Each structure stands twice: as structure tokens, then as C-alpha cells.
Amino acid sequence: MHSLASRRYHRSAPLVLVLALLALITVAYAFFASAPARADEGFTDAQVAGGQKLFAANCATCHGLNAEGSSFAPSLVGVGAAAVDFQVGTGRMPMQASGPQAQAKKPQFSQAEIDQLAAFVASLGTGPSVPTAEQVDGSLGDPAAGMELFRTNCAMCHGSVGGGGALTEGKFAPSLFNTTPTHIYEAMLTGPQSMPVFNNANISPESKRDIIAYLEEQRDEPPGGLTLGSLGPVSEGLWAWIVGVGLIIGITVWVGSRSS
Amino acid sequence: MSELKGETPFTNPGLPPHRPRRADEDPKAARRAEFQAVGLLVVSILGTVGAVLAYLFLPLSGSNGDIRRMTALMGAGIFLGMIGIGMGAIHWAKTLMRDHEMVEERHPIRSSDDTREEAVQMLKDGVEDSGVGVGRRGLLKGTMLTALAIAPLSVAIPMIGNLGGDWNVGQIKHTMWRKGMRLTRDPEGTPIKAADVTIGSVFHVIPEGLAETPDPLEEKAKAVVLLIRLDPRDLNVVPGREDWSFDGIVAYSKICTHVGCPVALYEQQTHHLLCPCHQSTFDVANGCKVIFGPAKRPLPQLPITVDSEGYIVAQRDFDEPVGPSFWERLK
């Protein structure tokens, strides 16, 4: 009995038990704390690690090694995966040259690499995440409701059908005719560059989908003649004054000239 | 012409010598010109036939592409049909019809002294007959003058009356904003919590209960507001307006002070607000003062605060009339 009891209750048993419990809690915390934080975004640790390498090699020159920002580039802590997917996915980042605004160009990274960068930036602080396919599916939205929202919130810069337009000092609102629905959604959510933010409290996710539905309707062939970029009086005036008036002047000169 | 010769320091250079055209001397050139005119007229015929064929035979299922194609081809056909006739006729006239110069003399404009004297005499006789300036037939002359004087009123009064029923300019000095009225989203009319307006956000705002007013569009035209949140560190509050904003959230009238266009092109990074009509630019970070363009005054600011439920409300109406200047603005 005595020997059995002594084996059962070793003097260091409580200490071992406490240490084992602490170890278990540590492992469990490490597991739950890291995994669920990114479970919303659906990114893996491997993506975050890969993104960190890509970031250090391609973005850190301006944004800093820890994305803390510098005197000429903003901090990326808390901008979210959506901002990275938009900026890198449309080729605006990495920036080609400094100027009034970063121009869209051919994306420099594959979608897998963009996802890695997004995973890394999202791991630095919570921010808007990339929308789901259902959230940006224009066929599920109401184009008429989208039109009302677009004309109130967007048309003053992007034009009544999304053809784009000029801002100040060389900046401009780009055409939306070839922008993917995901990028339209992300731009509203994150407010890139000059564009203000239209968060989900301002324009709900359903309303954002309505706006996408309206913009997709505008991509069909228009019933009228040449749209001239749907830019309004600037391109139409240029056409009328240069081509139209030019033709009239040319014919007038020809009518009045003497035959050789 | 001959009469003027001695009166001017310039000598009449006369007509330039007649220069025959190629088609006048060379039968080949004449033939060529004829073919050119025929070609232009054939273009016209083909254009007309093409326009008719496009109308008769192009499919028109109702899709935008069909409408666009038919409109474009019919337009092109009608253009060629018209311009071909015009250019063909002019080319014919310029190259093949007679081209000898013709001169038409210009006569002096002044009438002869006899005619002038006769006209003056007629006027004098008329004045004498009417008795103007002589105290006779006062009633007749008075009624004539009255009739002449009021005759334009039958046109003028309806014209001026139709300009608008309401002559009270006082109503454009005020908007429907009142103390405690919530700022709501345009077009839904849902109230806005201060926490919803994140930094860099822009809300297009209408007053609460706008849809229930007797004339919502008239009220909206005056009361629309842009609600913007800046980083409070970027916002330089105008002295005397310390309590008009809420933690970096500011509300400004959307009606341009130049000619009343909706100013809503907000650049988030520079905090500049641009009017699309004449490029007036307002600096939101500095009380919406004008930094470029034809506008003369800053956009009026709407004093806001937050109610007990966290919604953004107006403290009162704008302190000054919104929109462009008018005569009675500051009276």
C-alpha cells in the first residue's frame, strides 16, 4: 500500500501537472490565437510568410520593412487585404513613377503572389477583407437601385455611366468599363488615392452589388452613335469644334476657290 | 464706280485679267472634270440607295447593337446622298459652266436732293395736320398717348408673370435644416451614426423627413450637404466654429457659391473639393475656403453635433444663405 501510494503521489507530481497544463494552454493559445485571427480572411501561415518575403523585396523600399510607412509612402498597417488586392491587382502598386497619381498598368504579380502580399498586410492589423464572389456578382444586384446610388455618390467624378473624368492638377477618376467587379467593390471599400472611402455603413454590401450591376449594364453597346469615351462636353466639344467646324470651313474654302 | 474715282486716294485696279481654266482649253481636262462630277453624283445615288437598303433589310431585333448599326449606316447613306449632290453640282459649275467675269455697278446710296426735300416736306405736313404742340383736341391726343403707353402691358405682364409665381426671395435665404434634425443618406433617407463616418469617408446628405415636405425637390436643391471625416490633426478649425464639427466630421453645403452647381468631387488625400462646372476648388481642411476658380466665398458650413443615440444632427440652419450671390443676399 505504502509503496503503491508513494508511486501514485510522487512529490513532484503537482509541479509536473501544473507545468503540463501551462504547456497545453500555451500550445492551444498559440494555435487558436493565430489561426482564427486569419481564418476570416482564409489565409494560411505559409501565405503570410511568403507575403512577407515578397513585401521585403518589392514594397519595403517605400513602405518600410514592417509596412510602417515613410515620408513618401503611407503606413499599410490596418489597410486590409482588400486594399492590397486592389492596388497590386490593378497594377497601381508597385508604382511605376511618381506623379499626380499611381497609374493602372499590367499587374506585376500573379494572383497567388497578390494573395500572399494581402495575407501579410492583413496579418499586420485588421482591415477590410477581399469580397466574396457572391458579394460582387452583378447578376444578383438591382441595376436601377445601383443607378440611383451611382449618380448620387460616384457620377460627379466617374461620369454618369462610369466613363471617368478629370480632377485637379493632373489627377483623374479612371474609366470603370474594364474594371473587374472585385476591384470596383474594393475601391469603394478602401478609397484608394484621391477617392473617398464608401464603407459598408455608408453603402451596404448589397448596395455595392447594385452599383456593380448598374456598371455592368453600361458595358453593353450603347444605342446611340459614337460615345467618344462617355466623357461628356470635353470630348464632344473637341469633336464638334475640330472635326465638325473644320469640315465646314474646308468645304467653304473649296466652294469659294477658283477652278484651276 | 466712275463717280468715286476722283474722291479717293486709291486708283481702281480694275478686274484681274481673265485666265482660262484647263477645262476651257484642253478637251481631255474637260472630259476629266465631267467624269469627276459624274463620280460625285454616283456617290450620291449609291448613298441614297444604301440608306434605303439599310432601312429595308438590316435586322432590328431590338438590341442596342442593331439600333446603333442601322442608325449609323442610314446616317452615312443620307450624308453621302446629300454631299454628293452638292459637291457634284458645285464641281460642275466651277469647271464646266461659263466663267466669264460679270460686273454689276454699285450705285451711290444717297437719295437725290429733290427726293430728300419731298420727304422732309411730307413729315412737316403730317406734324402740322396732327396739331402736336398746339393746344387743340387735347382729349384725342391724351387718349392716343394713353393707348400707346399701355399697349405693351398686354404682352409684358403675362411674360413677367410667367417667370415664376413666387417673388419672395427670402425663401432662398433659408433651408429646411433645424435644430436637432438628423443628417440622412441621399437617397435612402436613413440617419447616420458618427461612428459610421470613418476617416476619409464622404456621405451625401439630405435632411431627415425631406420626402414628406410639400416640395421635396425645391427643398433638396437648397439643403443638400456633404459630410466628410478628416483626420482631426489635418483639420484647421475656423476660429469661432470650434463646436461646429464633431471629431473631424464636418458638413458643408453642396451648392457652389459661384453659380450653384453641386460641388462633390472630393479628393481624399488633398482634402480638396472641386466643382465640376467651372473648376472652383475648396479646401475642406481650411473651412472650405476658395483656393482656385471663379467662386468668391467659402462653402457655407452646417453646424453639427451628435444626439443621445449617436446620430449626427444639425445644430441649426446655415448661418448664411447657401449658393450663389443675389441682390438681396445680405439685406
What is the model's pLDDT at position B65?
Answer: 84
User: Is B277 within the bounds of a domain?
Assistant: yes
Q: Are residues B208 and B304 in the same domain?
A: yes
More confident of the two residues B51 and A260: B51
User: Is B110 within the bounds of a domain?
Assistant: no
Any chain B CB within 8 A of the CB of A214? no
Tell me the average pLDDT across B40-48. Answer: 98
The torsion angles phi and psi of B166, rounded to 5 degrees, stand at: -110, 120
User: Is B29 within the bounds of a domain?
Assistant: yes
Q: How far apart are CA B109 and CA B104, in angstroms?
A: 15
Mean pLDDT of chain B: 91
Domain CATH number, residue B224: 2.102.10.10
pLDDT at residue A34 greater than cutoff 80: no
Identity of the residue in B33, B68, B265 whose CB atom sits nearest the CB atom of A224:
B68
Q: Mind listing the pLDDT tens digit for each residue in A140-187?
A: 999 999 999 999 999 999 999 999 988 988 999 999 999 999 999 999
Q: Which domains does chain A have, with CATH numbers?
A: 45-124 (1.10.760.10), 138-234 (1.10.760.10)
Q: Are residues B309 and B208 in the same domain?
A: yes
Identity of the residue in B21, B64, B95 whose CB atom sits nearest the CB atom of A221:
B64
Please say whether the beta carbons of B208 and B182 come within 8 A.
yes
Q: Look at A191 and B272 and tell me if their CB atoms are within 8 Å.
A: no
pLDDT at residue A125 greater than cutoff 60: yes
User: Is B150 within the bounds of a domain?
Assistant: no
Q: Are residues B65 and B183 in the same domain?
A: no
Q: Are residues B292 and B197 in the same domain?
A: yes
Domain tally, chain B: 2
What is the pTM (predicted TM-score) of this model? 0.75
**Predicted-assembly ipTM surpassing the 0.90 threshold:** no
Residues of B (168-187) whose Cβ lies below 8 Å from A: 185-187
Domain end position, chosen among B76, B95, B114: B95
User: Is B131 within the bounds of a domain?
Assistant: no
Domain end position, chosen among B95, B121, B146: B95
pLDDT at residue A31 greater than cutoff 60: no
Q: How far apart are CA A204 and CA A185, in angstroms?
A: 11
Q: What percent of chain B has pLDDT over 70?
A: 96
Least confident of A8-17, A162-171, B157-166, B207-216: A8-17
The residue count of chain A comes to 260
What residues contact A9, with CB distance under 8 A and at least 6 apart?
none
**Region label for B298, one of left (φ > 0), alpha (ψ between -120 and 50) or beta (otherwise):** beta
Any chain A CB within 8 A of the CB of B24? no
Q: What are the C-alpha distances in Å from A18 to residues A14, A26, A27, A30, B71?
A: 6, 12, 14, 18, 86
Least confident of B19-28, B99-108, B222-231, B247-256: B99-108
Q: Mind listing the pLDDT tens digit for each residue in B200-244?
A: 999 999 999 999 999 999 999 999 999 999 999 999 999 999 999
**Strand spans (E) along chain B:** 183-185, 202-207, 225-229, 249-253, 265-267, 272-274, 281-283, 289-292, 304-306, 312-314
Sort out which chain B residues have CB atoms less than 8 A from A260's CB and list them.
Answer: 21-22
Cα dihedral: A106, A108, A110, A111 (round 10):
-70
Q: What are the C-alpha distances in Å from B292 to residues A121, B98, B254, B323?
A: 38, 62, 17, 17
Sort out which chain A residues have CB atoms less than 8 A from B193's CB and list them.
Answer: 201
Q: Mind listing the pLDDT tens digit for each residue in A65-101?
A: 989 999 888 999 999 999 999 999 999 999 888 888 9
Any chain A CB within 8 A of the CB of B36? no
User: Is B14 within the bounds of a domain?
Assistant: no
Cα dihedral: B41, B46, B51, B55 (round 10):
150
Q: How far apart are CA A101 and CA A195, in angstroms?
A: 11
Give the model's confidence band at A32: pLDDT under 50 very low, under 70 low, under 90 confident, else very high.
Answer: low
B18-38: b or e for each residue (b if 16 or more CB lie within 10 Å)? eeebebeeeeeebeebeebbe
Any chain A CB within 8 A of the CB of B282? no
User: Is B62 within the bounds of a domain?
Assistant: yes
What is the model's pLDDT at position B1?
Answer: 44
Residue A31 DSSP SS3: helix
Identity of the residue in B185, B186, B201 whose CB atom sits nearest the CB atom of A196:
B201
Q: Are residues B293 and B183 in the same domain?
A: yes
Q: Mind listing the pLDDT tens digit for each residue in B136-148?
A: 788 888 899 999 9
Q: Which domain holds residue B58?
A: 19-95
pLDDT at residue A8 greater than cutoff 80: no
Any chain A CB within 8 A of the CB of B252? no
User: Is B7 within the bounds of a domain?
Assistant: no
Q: Look at A199 and B198 and tell me if their CB atoms are within 8 Å.
A: yes
Residue keyed to cell 438590341: B63
Q: Look at A191 and B67 and tell me if their CB atoms are within 8 Å.
A: no
pLDDT at residue A211 greater than cutoff 90: yes
- Show the cell assigned to B105: 455697278
